[in-house]
Structures are given as structure tokens and as C-alpha cells.
Amino acid sequence: MAKFDQLAVLGKMKDTGMVPVFYHADAEVAKQVIAACYEGGVRVFEFTNRGDFAHEVFADVVRHVRQACPELAVGVGSVIDAPTAALYLQLGADFVVGPMFNAEISKVCNRRSVPYVPGCGTVTEVSAAQETGCQVCKVFPGDVLGPKFVKGLRAPMPWSKLMVTGGVEPTEENLTAWFRAGVFCVGMGSKLFPAAVISSGDWPAVTAKCAEALGYIRKARSL
């Protein structure tokens, strides 16, 4: 079962403002990446459900993280159906993220007090997700919708907590644009984990990039 409940996970998302998004078929590589992120200040991490036997890798990673990174909430991403969500909840997922909204996933997660962050691309989708109890909705794909979508949506729906994924970069300019628009937090994958850095095992570079991005987020929030 989840280590952190819904309130705790949302608090970590709010405090840090960033959720790294990563997948690797080798559990040992995933553990190194997570440790590097944790050292850089990350406290919420999304392991995506991609590749064969991804759930087995996730189970191994979660066991390790609970000992090595005690304050880290680890969730699963790319979940599109309720049975998959239930599987990962049984393996210890602290939250569930999807590329789209599925009301059945919301039911499964609400029953266990686990956050479900569905991908939404319209105001209507965000509203529908909120009606089922989703406290945070994922603006996806962010590079298509842009910061103006976030700002426009929050004008009539200021209570909306939005996590944007896709098109987010660990640069001051990009992060400032998103947080000025009103995002609750951001999800970041390939831009945070360049293939060359991962293949070379340059974990200090991952730590430094995470710390740098979190610094930009703190600065953007203070403007």
C-alpha cells in the first residue's frame, strides 16, 4: 500500500513544485536516478508504466526507495485503466498519473486515499475530473497547450491545481512562464534526464540539474 496519503503527496508537490518523470528497464539505473534526484531536493517522483514488466521494476524500486529515500513519494505514470492502477497501488504507488482522464481510475484511487492526476486538454475535461475528486489535473500535452491555457482556465476556475507535463524544460525562462501562468507544479522527463547523462551514469549531473530547476521554481514563485 501507499506510504503517503493524498494530503501528504499533494503537500510534497506543492512544496517542491516539480515531479521528475522517468522510466528505465533496469531497476538499478532507476534507483541511481532517483537517489540523484532526492539528493537534489526532489520529494515526488513519477515512474512511468512503459516497457515489458515495468511493474516488476517498480516493485523493486519502491522497496529500495522506502529505505534509501524515506521522504520520497513515488508514483506511477502512463496509467490508462483501473486494473493497472490497482496493480500499482498494491505495489506501493503513492499516486497515479495518466495521459487522459478515466473515471474508473478515480474510483480506485479515491477508495485508497491516493491522488489520481489525470491528463486533461480542455476546460471540460478538467471540470469532469474535479467532479470525481481529482485534486490535481495534468495539463497534457503542455507543449501544445502552453502557459496561456493554464492562465485562461484558472481565470474562471481559480481553485484548479494544475500540473503541466510535456514541453517543460529545466530553464529559468520556461519554468518562470509556467509558474507565472499559475501551475501548481510541473512534471519533467527527457529534458531533465538527457540520454547521454543516463547512459554515462553521470548522477552528480542529475543532482545538479534538479537542484538548479528547483531553485528556478522557488524564484518564479516569489515573483
Residues 88 and 74: their CA atoms lie apart, in Å, by: 11
Structure letter (DSSP) for residue 91: T
Dig out the grid coordinates for 170 from the structure. Answer: 529545466
Give the pLDDT mean for 196-201. 97
Residues 209 and 64: their CA atoms lie apart, in Å, by: 23
Q: What percent of the chain has pLDDT over 70?
A: 100
Q: What is the pLDDT of residue 167?
A: 86
Residue listed under C-alpha cell 479515491: 110
Q: What percent of the chain has pLDDT over 90?
A: 99
For the question of whether the overall pTM of this predicted structure is more than 0.85, the answer is yes
Q: For the domain bounded by 6-218, which CATH number is listed? A: 3.20.20.70
Which of the four pLDDT bands, split at 50, 70 and 90, describes residue 188? Answer: very high
The amino acid at residue 132 is T
204 in Cβ contact with 37 (< 8 Å):
no
pLDDT tens per residue across span 36-59: 999 999 999 999 999 899 999 999
Per-residue pLDDT at 182 exceeds 90: yes
Give the pLDDT mean for 204-219. 98
Q: What is the pLDDT of residue 170?
A: 97
Torsional class of 67: left (φ above 0), alpha (ψ -120 to 50), beta (otherwise): alpha
Q: What is the pLDDT of residue 76?
A: 98
Give the pLDDT mean for 111-128. 98
pLDDT tens per residue across span 58-117: 999 999 999 999 999 999 999 999 999 999 999 999 999 999 999 999 999 999 999 999
Per-residue pLDDT at 223 exceeds 90: no
Q: Quick one: how far is CA 97 from the chain centroid?
A: 7
